[in-house]
Amino acid sequence: MANEVTRIEDQLKRAFEGDAWHGPALMEALQGVTAARAAARPLAGAHSIWEIVLHVAAWEDVVRRRLGGEPVSLSDAEDWPAAGDTGDAAWTAALEKLRSGHMALRRAVAKLSDARLKEEVPGAIYTFYHLVHGLIQHDLYHAGQIAVLKKGA
């Protein structure tokens, strides 16, 4: 039987790449999204798909760094980065940053032991187990937002 870290890795992969029980994973939700569509704001007051992608990438990096023992926090601008250049090349780069950051995170998770999952995150009042499961939930939450925004664009 697989250990807990292996099960978490599987859930992290499913939430990001696909084959999730609930429906589309994050990258599945992003399929077919063009730069123009990613930058669009079909709902007043809502973040764009592009901003959501940058936000998810930022938090995947935070979790990776916290797994390494770094007590990281983000400013508002780091938490929700602005898209800036909204051309095709910039969109491709944003998606690549998301993918490569996710792979780095998965490598960091793979190095964990089940015992380490029970330890508290430096500077936090929760465990590494809670942190990584929270990130999985975060990815899925934003995949749902992207799906709604795609319908409105």
Where do the structural domains in the chain lie, given as residue ranges? 4-152
Which CATH architecture describes the domain 4-152? Up-down Bundle (1.20)
Interval 66-87 mean pLDDT: 93
Whether the pTM exceeds 0.85: the reply is yes
Interval 111-131 mean pLDDT: 94
C-alpha span between 130 and 105 (Å, rounded)? 15
C-alpha span between 32 and 10 (Å, rounded)? 25
- Is 153's pLDDT higher than 90? no
C-alpha span between 77 and 122 (Å, rounded)? 23
What pLDDT shows up at residue 122? 87
